[in-house]
């Protein structure tokens, strides 16, 4: 299956962001799924109030979500897109990933459950965490798991996805730049792929305060695609034969002894 990873620079204009989504998708060929980063819908100004952000956040029938659905249907492609989504706890919002089918229908949604309260940031001041495990979704015969950005630091989530039968882990992200942050991202991405013998496919924000480094890593921890320092999309292929061969040589999931891993 062909997957495109869109490295995207969000702006404060939803209309401009939707137009960029359309342009990126229109350039793709032979791709089944395109993944856009966390917060693709909006670059929230640093001084925005929580109340204003809630007002701007998406919901299932928001204009932005309808626009993405229309683009997906026009091009016959699945779309995973990270957005701010209104929660039921005003004025906090969710960091959510909408999964839209090639027919333009909303197929699934995941709300980030582990928030970035670290390194001087406190997402929980304005984000509400989700309370569900990583999303599992089937796309054209492939099983995909979904987590978001900071959740890459929690190996339990990726292992849940692998044990749920995933071929690949999809990770929309807005990874901040900073000392050693780029190296951390690459290390985490490779580790999550290698320890679970599955693909890890990341789509990251670029520019503003974000690091970029949208990458695809195969089940043996080999980086098979990497974006440049610019906006655009890189393509990778998820190959179930490659997964089978790696798992035959490196049967990590079969060799687990979960009875030894109980916390006391």
- Residue numbers annotated as active site: 38, 112, 149
Distance CA 168, CA 184 (A): 20
Copy the structure tokens of residue 137.
């979704």
Q: CA dist 16 to 56, 100, 232, Å?
A: 15, 20, 15
Distance CA 91, CA 121 (A): 18
Cis preceding linkage at 91, omega within 30: yes
Torsion of the alpha carbons at 14, 17, 18 and 21, rounded to the nearest 10: -160
The per-residue DSSP string of 121-140 comes to: --GGGTB----SPPEEEEET
Phi (first) and psi of residue 139, to 5 degrees = -130, 110
Copy the structure tokens of residue 227.
């974006």
Copy the structure tokens of residue 25.
């998708």
242's torsion region: left (phi>0), alpha (psi -120 to 50) or beta? Answer: alpha
Copy the structure tokens of residue 247.
């798992």
Cα 226 off chain centre by: 15
CA 173-25-161 angle, 5° bins: 40
């Amino acid at each position: 299956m062909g997957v495109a990873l869109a490295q995207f620079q969000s702006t404060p204009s939803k209309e401009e962001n939707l137009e960029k989504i359309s342009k990126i998708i229109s350039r793709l060929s032979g791709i089944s799924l395109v993944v856009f980063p966390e917060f693709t819908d909006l670059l929230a100004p640093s001084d925005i109030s929580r109340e204003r952000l809630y007002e701007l956040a998406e919901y299932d029938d928001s204009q932005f979500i309808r626009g993405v659905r229309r683009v997906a249907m026009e091009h016959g492609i699945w779309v995973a897109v990270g957005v701010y989504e209104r929660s039921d706890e005003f004025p906090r919002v969710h960091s959510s990933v909408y999964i839209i089918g090639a027919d333009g229908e909303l197929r699934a949604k995941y709300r980030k459950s582990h928030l970035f309260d670290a390194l001087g940031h406190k997402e929980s001041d304005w984000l509400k965490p989700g309370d569900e495990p990583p999303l599992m979704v089937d796309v054209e015969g492939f099983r995909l798991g979904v987590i978001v950005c900071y959740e890459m630091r929690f190996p339990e989530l990726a292992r849940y996805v692998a044990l749920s039968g995933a071929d690949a882990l999809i990770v929309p992200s807005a990874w901040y730049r900073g000392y050693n942050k780029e190296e951390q991202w690459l290390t985490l991405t490779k580790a999550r792929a290698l320890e679970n013998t599955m693909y890890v496919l990341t789509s990251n924000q670029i520019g503003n305060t974000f690091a970029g480094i949208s990458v695809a890593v195969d089940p043996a921890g080999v980086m098979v695609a990497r974006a440049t320092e610019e906006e655009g999309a890189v393509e990778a292929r998820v190959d179930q034969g490659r997964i089978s061969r790696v798992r035959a040589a490196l049967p990590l999931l079969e060799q687990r002894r979960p009875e030894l891993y109980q916390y006391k």
